Amino acid sequence: MSHTPIFDTHAHYTSHQFDADRADLLHTLPRQGVVGVVDCAVDYATSLACLELAEQYPFVYAALGIHPESLIEETASTVAQFQGDWNAELRSIAALFDNKKAVAVGECGLDYHWPVPKEEQLAMFEAHLKLARELDKPIIVHDRKAHADVYDLLKRYQPQGVVHCFSGSAEDAQMLTKQGMYIGFGGALTFKGAKRAVKAATAIPLEQIVLETDCPYMAPEPCRGHRCDSGLIAHTAAFLAEIRGISVQEVLTVTTQNAQRLFGV
Ligand SMILES: [Zn+2]
């Protein structure tokens, strides 16, 4: 399956799951139609690594920030290097935005699935919203079982950005897009039982949808369970085209334009 243009707004190519073949894989992506990838950091160490990838590959851009799970992840620099002082970590990350390939703040947000201290993640997400405002950059938002608190902060700060791997309702999606946010859909949209996501993906303008992988995770059907990469967005795009009753070409063209507009690339 080869389609173009594909813009992957959420990838993790710095993941250890790509250690064996990262360079080989990234070199093949343009041939699969991939014109852009935003690689998302989860802490300081991956912020440096994402920027390094972005410097090596013209089509790769970086989002820099601290994922809420990093607060309790022993191997994350939040714990291992900064001993939980995420304020200091975020200051170190903010300094990296001198680099032109740093196009967004994130991934950041709220995760109420894992036992991450709630007050701390709320404060950290708010600090990212303030940083995005200061830098005038879009934000990449992680929202897992935390819709009310995420929407509340987005309403308060009115950032530009994406709610990635969207899991809210159609009404939520409409509320967010009216506020100017983009909604990110990935492989999960194609999973059996993703009726809620399908409703959301058909309730909002195509002009505010962006596609993503969250690779190495979340490979779309029919590749579910395998390691994901940006080329597989072709499947997610085909699925979105089918449920919206339009062509794959239109889905890919418009969602790529959306991503380029949002990230200014
Ligand atoms: Zn992610």
Give the count of domains, the chain: 1
Q: Does the residue 219 lie in any domain? A: yes
How many other β-carbons are positioned within 10 Å of the β-carbon of residue 140?
Answer: 31
User: Which pTM was predicted?
Assistant: 0.97
CA 249 / ligand 1 centre spacing (Å): 26
Residue 213 φ then ψ, to 5°:
-110, -40
Name the phi and psi angles at 179, rounded to 5.
-80, -5
For residue 208, the model assigns a pLDDT of 98
Indicate the residue type of 223: C
Q: In sequence order, what are the beta bridge partners of 206? A: none
Residue 67 CA to ligand 1 center (angstroms) comes to 8
Say if 258 falls within a structural domain: yes
The region that residue 158 occupies, defined by phi over 0 for left and psi between -120 and 50 for alpha, beta otherwise, is left
Question: Ligand 1 (ion): which residues have CB within 5 A?
Answer: 214
What is the CA(8)–ligand 1 centre distance, in A?
12
Q: How many CB atoms lie within 10 A of CB 181?
A: 25
The string of pLDDT tens digits covering residues 152-177 is 999 999 999 999 999 999 999 999 99
Rounded to the nearest whole angstrom, what is the distance from the C-alpha of residue 213 to the centroid of ligand 1? Answer: 9
Q: Please name the helix (run of DSSP H) or strand (run of DSSP E) that holds residue 162, with its range, or none.
A: strand 161-163
Tokens (6 digits) for 226: 């395998």
C-beta separation of 6 from 254 below 8 A: no
- Centroid of ligand 1 to alpha carbon of 202 (angstroms): 23
Q: How far apart are CA 88 and CA 138, in angstroms?
A: 21
- Look up the domain containing 193 and give its range: 6-263
Q: Are 62 and 47 in contact (CB under 8 A)?
A: yes
C-alpha radius of gyration, the chain, whole number: 17
- Specify whether the CB–CB gap between 232 and 223 falls below 8 A: yes
DSSP class per residue in 14-75: TSGGGTTTHHHHHHHTGGGTEEEEEEEPSSHHHHHHHHHHHHH-TTEEEEE---GGGGG-TT
In angstroms, the CA 137 to CA 69 distance is 22
In order along its 265 residues, the chain shows pLDDT tens digits of 558 899 999 999 999 999 999 999 999 999 999 999 999 999 999 999 999 999 999 999 999 999 999 999 999 999 999 999 999 999 999 999 999 999 999 999 999 999 999 999 999 999 999 999 999 999 999 999 999 999 999 999 999 999 999 999 999 999 999 999 999 999 999 999 889 999 999 999 999 999 999 999 999 999 999 999 999 999 999 999 999 999 999 999 999 999 999 999 9
CATH, residue 141 = 3.20.20.140
Q: Residue 204: inside a domain, yes or no?
A: yes
Q: Given this model, what pLDDT does residue 95 score?
A: 98
Q: If you measure from the C-alpha of residue 162 to the centroid of ligand 1, how many angstroms do you get, rounded to a whole number?
A: 12
Decide the pairing of beta strands 209-211 and 182-185: parallel
d(Cα 163, Cα 179) in Å, to the nearest integer?
Answer: 12
* Three-class secondary structure of residue 82 per DSSP: coil
Cα 44 to ligand 1 centre (Å):
15
Rounded distance from Cα 141 to ligand 1 centre (Å): 9
Q: How far is the CA of 236 from the centre of ligand 1 (A)?
A: 17
In a domain? residue 1: no
Q: Calculate how far, in angstroms, residue 71's C-alpha sits from the geometric centre of ligand 1.
A: 15
Between the CA of 110 and the centroid of ligand 1 the distance, in Å, is 12
Residue 153 has a CB neighbour count (10 Å cut-off) of 19
Over residues 118-162, the pLDDT tens digits come to 999 999 999 999 999 999 999 999 999 999 999 999 999 999 999
- Measured in Å, residue 140 CA sits from the centre of ligand 1 at 9
Measured in angstroms, how far is the CA atom of residue 83 from the centroid of ligand 1?
22
